[in-house]
Amino acid sequence: DTAVSQTPKYLVTQMGNDKSIKCEQNLGHDTMYWYKQDSKKFLKIMFSYNNKELIINETVPNRFSPKSPDKAHLNLHINSLELGDSAVYFCASSQAQPEITGGYTFGSGTRLTVV
Partner 1 sequence: QKEVEQNSGPLSVPEGAIASLNCTYSDRGSQSFFWYRQYSGKSPELIMSIYSNGDKEDGRFTAQLNKASQYVSLLIRDSQPSDSATYLCAVKGDSNYQLIWGAGTKLIIKP
Closest contact distance (angstroms) between CB of 94 and partner 1 is: 7
Residues 25, 7: contact at Cβ < 8 Å? no
- Give 56 or 67: the residue with its C-beta nearer to partner 1: 56
Closest contact distance (angstroms) between CB of 35 and partner 1 is: 9
DSSP 87: E
- Give 50 or 68: the residue with its C-beta nearer to partner 1: 50
Cα–Cα separations (whole angstroms), residue 103 to 14, 57, 106: 35, 19, 10
Query: Nearest-CA neighbor of 84 among 111, 62, 115?
Result: 115
- List interacting residues with partner 1 (CB under 8 A): 31, 33, 40-45, 48, 50, 55-56, 90, 94, 97-100, 102-109
Closest contact distance (angstroms) between CB of 107 and partner 1 is: 6
